[in-house]
Structure 1
Amino acid sequence: MRILVVGAGATGGYFGALLARAGRDVTFLVRPARAEALRERGLRIVGRDEEWVLTPRLVTADVLDGPYDLVLLSVKSTGLDGAIEDIAPAVGPDTVVVPLLNGLAHMDALNARLGTASVLGGVAKVVTTLDDSGDIRRLAPLAHLTLGEQDGTDTARAARIRAVLEEAGIASPVPAHAVTAMWHKWVFITTLGAVTSLMRGTVGDVYDAPGGPGLGPAVLDEAAAVAAAAGHPVPAAERAATLAVVSVPGSPMVPSLYRDLAAGRPTEVEHLFGDLTERARSLGVATPLLDLATLHLRVHQRRVTAGTTSGRDRPRPTSPPTGSDRLRPAPTGSDRTVGAGARRRALARAPAWTFAAVHGSSPETVAGTRPARDHGAMNVHTSLPLGLDWATAPAAWSLSDGVLTVTAAPRTDLFTDPLGGAARRDAAVALTTPPEGDWQFSARLRVGFRSAWDAGALVVRSDDAHWAKLNFEQAPDGTPCVFSVVTRGRSDDAVGSPVTGEALWLRISRIGEGFAFHVSDDGGLWRLVRQFALTGPRPLRIGVEVQSPVGEGCRVDFDDIRLTPTSLPHLIDGR
């Protein structure tokens, strides 16, 4: 398969690098300045204790030949028209184009120029950014690209592309409907963007003001009404997940749109808001708040174009804290505990996880921000109990009265198929580094089961190929059970005993070079689930995970969270 990646930023560059490293025939179409930088330094992937460099195959528009089998289009909407003309020589009768932009206007432009049969849609998630050196900095292991035909059918060509992505370590599940997924992402982006941009403040600034709590739901109602009228209604679980993001007291969250607005830079107002409100009018849907947000951003855009914005004119962005300003629960003694009576802020002011979507390449911050230089990645880093950080962010989370509540996004999992080897790594995961030597990591879990395989878990991880988790999970027959998974390249999957109570304590113990899983109904009497070894690089990371592999999302409450440096003297009864 001959692959052309248009752009070599945080999103397209990262996906292209993974494909090239897997031995695929990948060429990057870049501007001359970017080509010169890549020839000097190579395409570098850094961060998360790794660094690797590729010597990429580069081409500029003036010498592009074709056709290619697959084109990944990763540009801003402002560069779309030029990019479409640039890639035209690369598109033949069998070429498939997968764009990585927000909104849907680009789909109309691509369909008109290249033909509907050449263009797929979908949703991608990465946690990367382009740093000051032009390197792609990897902030979490997530690499996820869902794609499908615009008419919702599942075709052989889409399956072939998914197989290529999976072989390169890019998770690519089959979507229920790719265009519907794009609409739902668009609803989320415009809701968050309108709330923060209209009020010139963070989510918390808006929510905490008198009358503020009603704005997010009102904007979401308008955006969701447009999607429903277009034939893509937003499910209740996704609406709830969006509300959980835009209705958080004290949240420092702002999207990239707000950061561009605050810095006096151009925004993608027409692509995101102008197109949505125009569709609303054609569908007969009233959107007064979205219309107001569109006007507000258009005024800003005109001033930017005219060069009349100044520091005095710009809204003051909320800067993320650094150093001692970051809020982290401080451990006391040898037992770091978040007990049921502990009171800590739900959201810290550190940068938060973000994701880019196919038809969603602008970074949308889920809980906090860090300025990013590339439009294709989201930067996330949240302050959580025990020094946990989001490796893969959830749809929503909060911390109140010592209870960490995490909601997984729909159809997310952490599993590597033992038969086919395909990896899923899009479940919500937060990790921290345990102490040296033996330790015990435990928590009580309450899971809001809705679908088969919904679960909350504790996880221990060496790398993507070596990890294990202990789950409180719903079996296909609806019975809550204990499940455990140990992954050594591929995952096993072991079913334990049914659980009759509403809550269950889980515990991971390190015993020398080995590990043990235990569960308890009361936090006092423990029973062994399994003992195992886990090879792979060190240091280890441990944490929590929430998944909903086939469902519409899953909410889990974690409390009595403990990480204690201690040895386990009795393996069987866990004493």
Structure 2
Amino acid sequence: MAALCYFLVREFNEETDMKIAVMGAGAVGCYYGGMLARAGHDVVLIARPRHVEAIQRDGLRLDTKSFDEYLRLDASSEAGAAKNADVVLFCVKSTDTDSAALALKPYLHERTLVLSLQNGVENAERLRELLPQEVAAAVVYVAAEMAGPGHIRHHGRGELVIEPSSMSEEVARTLAAASVPTEISDNVRGALWAKLVLNCAYNALSAITQTPYGRLVQGEGVTRAMRDVVDECLAVAKADGVTIPGDVDAAVRGIAETMPNQYSSTAQDMARGKRSEIDHLNGLIVRRGEASGIPTPANRMLHVLVKLLENQAGKGEEKR
């Protein structure tokens, strides 16, 4: 099945407005949920209480390069708010996949599509083990951050690649009409691995140094170190039988060029004292490398350093 792209054409939005729940409405979830709400869809954001309180009081502030608006939409800290949703944008951290899926399970009807907008390559498979509903994986390319409670700041990009499902064409048209470029691909596994390679190259280094991508790549020896990380990822992917689409080297260079001011999600987590997804990024490469007999010293070192920093931050919290 060839890739099918949907671009920003309003005439595609012929379907009845969907009810859309965003589970784990952080930066990614608030951006896509906000864009869909702005296009007129019934959206509920399921988020942490401080974000919910701000959104209920003031609306969601969607702060982009082309507009800065407050959007009125529903928000809740309870999974039950997803009841009867047609589509769930599942945006929680990989570390929370199991608990969030089990919290949602009682409230979803049999026809709900659960669309995983998560980092890592294993989440959709895990969701299929936990939920009877149809699950589709998506690859997310967006630079965004939570600038404050209920305030999403968009730095660039925003496209999605989703895998085929019974609702994929309808969802893709809906997203495209909401100004979210969307592609349906039968190689989402390869696209997820391509995104994993980018995350492994940038996330830990951005987190360890608390540096945005544009400045990061200017550091002495950084691009060579990233090359080592990427080479290990590609070797592991090949051993796993994964076909990664496109020009990986160009994609790695392009991140710093298109998102120069963006800090990685791992950097944002660490800055807030939160547990990161590093076990599902460089840590996954280390585990898969061990299983295949492939050395991964560069990824192992980045994984170890981030874990050490996380443990140090955790001890600091305990002392306070």
Q: TM-score, normalised by structure 1?
A: 0.46
Taking a change above 3 Å as real, the CA distance of residues 240 and 90 of structure 1, as seen in their structure-2 partners, is same
Counterpart in 1 of 2:235? Answer: 225
Counterpart CA distance in 1 for 2:63 and 2:291 is 46
- State yes or no: 1:273 paired with 2:289: no
Choose which of 160, 169, 175 in structure 2 pairs with 1:145.
160
- State yes or no: 1:239 paired with 2:254: no
Choose which of 300, 306, 316 in structure 1 pairs with 2:315.
306
Aligned-partner residue type, residue 190 of structure 1 = C
Counterpart in 1 of 2:183? Answer: 173
**Could you tell me how far 1:91 is from its partner in structure 2?**
2.7
Cα-Cα RMSD = 3.3
Counterpart CA distance in 2 for 1:268 and 1:182 is 15
- State which drifts further: 96-105 or 56-65: 56-65
**Could you tell me how far 1:187 is from its partner in structure 2?**
0.9
Gaps of 5+ in 1: 150-154, 311-575
Taking a change above 3 Å as real, the CA distance of residues 309 and 114 of structure 1, as seen in their structure-2 partners, is same
Identity of aligned residues (%): 27
SS in structure 1 of the partner of residue 148 of structure 2:
coil
Q: 2:83·2:107 contact (CA, 8 Å) conserved in 1?
A: yes
Counterpart in 2 of 1:131? Answer: 147
Q: 2:202·2:264 contact (CA, 8 Å) conserved in 1?
A: yes
Counterpart CA distance in 1 for 2:237 and 2:150 is 37
**Taking CA–CA contacts closer than 8 Å with sequence separation of 6 or more, which of the two structures ends up with the larger relative contact order?**
2
Choose which of 175, 185, 205 in structure 1 pairs with 2:219.
205
SS in structure 2 of the partner of residue 120 of structure 1:
strand
Choose which of 11, 14, 31 in structure 2 pairs with 1:14.
31
**Could you tell me how far 1:92 is from its partner in structure 2?**
2.9
Choose which of 23, 32, 37 in structure 1 pairs with 2:40.
23
Counterpart CA distance in 2 for 1:262 and 1:54 is 27
Of Structure 1 and Structure 2, the greater strand share is in: 1
Of Structure 1 and Structure 2, the greater helix share is in: 2
Taking a change above 3 Å as real, the CA distance of residues 291 and 7 of structure 1, as seen in their structure-2 partners, is closer
Larger Cα-atom Rg? 1
Aligned-partner residue type, residue 145 of structure 2 = T
- Superposition pairs for residues 413-424 of structure 1, below 5 Å? none
Aligned-partner residue type, residue 273 of structure 1 = N
Q: 1:264·1:309 contact (CA, 8 Å) conserved in 2?
A: no
Choose which of 117, 126, 138 in structure 2 pairs with 1:109.
126
Taking a change above 3 Å as real, the CA distance of residues 63 and 100 of structure 1, as seen in their structure-2 partners, is closer
Aligned-partner residue type, residue 285 of structure 2 = L
Counterpart CA distance in 1 for 2:271 and 2:70 is 35
Counterpart in 2 of 1:77? Answer: 94
Counterpart CA distance in 1 for 2:192 and 2:23 is 20
Q: TM-score, normalised by structure 2?
A: 0.78
Q: 1:280·1:286 contact (CA, 8 Å) conserved in 2?
A: yes
Counterpart CA distance in 1 for 2:38 and 2:262 is 35
Counterpart CA distance in 2 for 1:13 and 1:134 is 8
Taking a change above 3 Å as real, the CA distance of residues 204 and 137 of structure 1, as seen in their structure-2 partners, is closer
Counterpart in 2 of 1:40? Answer: 57
Q: 1:44·1:135 contact (CA, 8 Å) conserved in 2?
A: yes
Counterpart CA distance in 1 for 2:179 and 2:83 is 26
